[in-house]
Structure 1
């Protein structure tokens, strides 16, 4: 990870860049018809890139390893839930639900678990962003009973995302090396999804990998870059604000859903997007 100068502007720029990359890799994953193959390729890219990075970065401090282990397990769990959500639901609805539940949960955890005070302005910003994200998620109406399994998977994804966000925000501060923390985190989680895919499909998996290999691996590299930027930001900025700002990826995802997947944007989505931008402005004002 490059040595980016610390400060509010650099943190915001890193998180917003990560938001764009995150939306793009999720769109690439969703475009692959066989979602299990898509996620297996993404994780193969994690493994390959991380294997190189661990040779070039310092070993994290011993205090960080419990955080790395728990976060890696939660990252795998979140991908399994997200994979299921994408198998059952539409990208334009599942992505915002999965991402939109995290900021408020992180803010609450920052206060109740980590005993880190959050100012009234920051809490207002997080609430406004979260409300806007909820509006984006429900812009097409309240999901019916048939959509409940997909909804449950998306919400579960958001809960797990909030959990590992808090864990990484703490663990990286104990690691002594942001790049080393990122490298070992992805190396620990990377092989799990490909192994699961192999156990389910066997040698037939290789035939499914070939046609979408480039797209899947590109998605993995983008994902690693995105979360690497987020972890760097967590090491230099406020946890709740970083968590809220990164969810602007939903704005990008909404545009992708409209332009690429031909999903209707609509007035409600525009209003919800404006609410997200308002929340971001409030958060920015708290970090001059």
Structure 2
């Protein structure tokens, strides 16, 4: 894997951690997730107006991914109701690289070399180390269940979009339509939270929509990378977002201990190196 491609994926990881921090610090996370979804609809509506349609073969993948994203947003919102960012995030993201690699092997015929699997394992260890004290002290059943459900949804839509974007004929078009269909998620939250939305201050609206823009850019970078690298490898590198989330949790939310964060970052850097030189 080339250095520019690794840099693109790591940039996406940082952006992903940023918008998760926005959701975690929000007073009403369900409403904020709806605003995040709406923040993707606005720019994508402009994009689909000027871009060609993605291929018909990719349409089922876009639709299926949208359905799975419903589950993802629900699970993520509930997980943050029951656990800290530095606990929920490692569980949710930690199971993703292995699941994606397995799904990609089963459905896309992508077989990773042993060195890449070793890199995935090292990254998974780094993810858990990033919040080891919190995890060891006990994770509530609800927090664990919703975090694991979030990770499962991530693994499913990651593979769906990886296969779909390769069939689309146009990465930008696939990205735009996938983001635009978040209008159904935003609409669902708007109906359920219509009274809350009317009373929200402008700052909350701005933060939520900004989170949506960041989320959209982050996933667009990942979609681009999936055209050129195995899905399991891309997923593993993307999950280094846990390091960024742990650092954000430590620096700004008062969660955790810096020595463990540093050890986690070293492990993940080693995992990135193993994957980057293997595929």
TM-score normalised by the chain length of structure 1: 0.92
2:52: which partner in 1?
58
1:148: which partner in 2?
141
CA distance in 2, matches of 1:75, 1:201: 19
CA distance in 1, matches of 2:67, 2:201: 24
Counterparts of residues 183-262 of structure 1 (less than 5 Å): 183-188=176-181, 190-208=182-200, 210-262=202-254
Seen in structure 2, the aligned counterparts of structure 1 residues 257 and 204 have a Cα distance that, compared at 3 Å, is closer
1:93: which partner in 2?
87
RMSD over aligned Cα, in angstroms?
1.6
Seen in structure 2, the aligned counterparts of structure 1 residues 272 and 139 have a Cα distance that, compared at 3 Å, is farther
Shift of 1:273: 2.7
Given that residues 40 and 194 in structure 1 are in contact (C-alpha distance below 8 angstroms), is that contact kept between their aligned partners in structure 2?
A: yes
1:283: which partner in 2?
275
Answer yes or no: is 1:176 the counterpart of 2:176. no
Seen in structure 2, the aligned counterparts of structure 1 residues 34 and 119 have a Cα distance that, compared at 3 Å, is same
Residue by residue, what CA displacement relative to the aligned partner does 1:127-167 show, whole Å, maximum 9, x if unpaired? 1111221222433243547x110111011101110111111
Counterparts of residues 20-59 of structure 1 (less than 5 Å): 20-59=14-53
2:96: which partner in 1?
102
Shift of 1:277: 1.5
Residue by residue, what CA displacement relative to the aligned partner does 1:12-70 show, whole Å, maximum 9, x if unpaired? 11101101111111111212111012111111111111101111222100100010000
CA distance in 2, matches of 1:240, 1:63: 22
Unaligned runs of 5+ in 1: 1-6
CA distance in 2, matches of 1:186, 1:164: 13
Given that residues 96 and 235 in structure 2 are in contact (C-alpha distance below 8 angstroms), is that contact kept between their aligned partners in structure 1?
A: yes
SS at match of 1:59: coil
1:13: which partner in 2?
7
| Alignment counterpart, residue 116 of structure 2, candidates 117, 122, 128 | 122
- Shifted more, 87-96 versus 205-214: the winner is 205-214
**Stretches of 4+ aligned residues off by more than 4 angstroms:** none
Given that residues 31 and 193 in structure 2 are in contact (C-alpha distance below 8 angstroms), is that contact kept between their aligned partners in structure 1?
A: no
Shift of 1:76: 2.0
SS at match of 2:243: helix
Given that residues 126 and 241 in structure 1 are in contact (C-alpha distance below 8 angstroms), is that contact kept between their aligned partners in structure 2?
A: yes
How many residue pairs were aligned? 279
CA distance in 2, matches of 1:196, 1:248: 31
- Shifted more, 205-214 versus 223-232: the winner is 205-214
